[in-house]
Amino acid sequence: MQKSLKKYTVIGIIFTALAGTLAHFFYLWSGENLVVALFTPVSESTWEHLKLLFFPMIIYSIFEALVFHSRVPELFYANITGAFVGMLSIVVLFYTYSGILGNSCTPVDIGIFYLSVVIAFLSGHRLAGKRERLYRFKWLILTGLVACTIAFFFFTWNPPEIGLFQNPEPGVASVFLRI
């Protein structure tokens, strides 16, 4: 079973990386469709780019949970927690390196996305098997999932005036000044 779960984890990493990469362009390709905007980035803000990891990973986690439900019933909760860890990785890595350099670099940003997808799935994989711990927090995890989804939908059209939600400005001396 462990070998099978590892195989599905690798497939999930590949699926999420590819779907997230393509999703970067879905909004424009759709003719700026309002429904597509809810699930894909509508700007270059860090917040909007978290959708690239979040929604593909949630979709894959539902599929994977259906496949492994009888053998690893806590897998869905583990993967959702992993998605939160992956999104946190994006934010921390992006603002750390861009704060040090004073600006961002697209190839590094892409690398951070891929690294964060791996971190997300490995975190979820590592948590799978910790049924009691995850079940103790399952309502918190589900509440976080719903709250994050609602936040993505709401902030797509109403972004706050803080750096996480704003388009990065090239040449800014420190990214942290925008937070």
Structural domains in the chain (count): 1
Angular region, 31: left φ>0, alpha ψ -120 to 50, beta rest: left
pLDDT at 176 over 60: no
pLDDT attached to residue 174? 40
- HSE-CB at 177 with a 13 A cutoff on CA atoms is 10
Q: What is the mean pLDDT of residues 40-62?
A: 96
How far from 159 is each of 30, 46, 48, 50, CA to CA, in Å? Answer: 22, 11, 10, 14
Can you give the residue range of the structural domain that contains 64? 2-178
pLDDT at 45 over 80: yes
Burial of 8 (0-12, 13-18, 19+ CB in 10 A): buried
Q: What is the model's pTM? A: 0.89
Q: Output the DSSP codes for 26-41.
A: HHHHTTS-HHHHHHS-
Name the token pair of 123: 């975190």
- Banded pLDDT at 169 (limits 50, 70, 90): low
- Banded pLDDT at 103 (limits 50, 70, 90): confident
pLDDT attached to residue 4? 85
Residue 87 — φ and ψ, nearest 5°?
-65, -40
pLDDT at 173 over 70: no
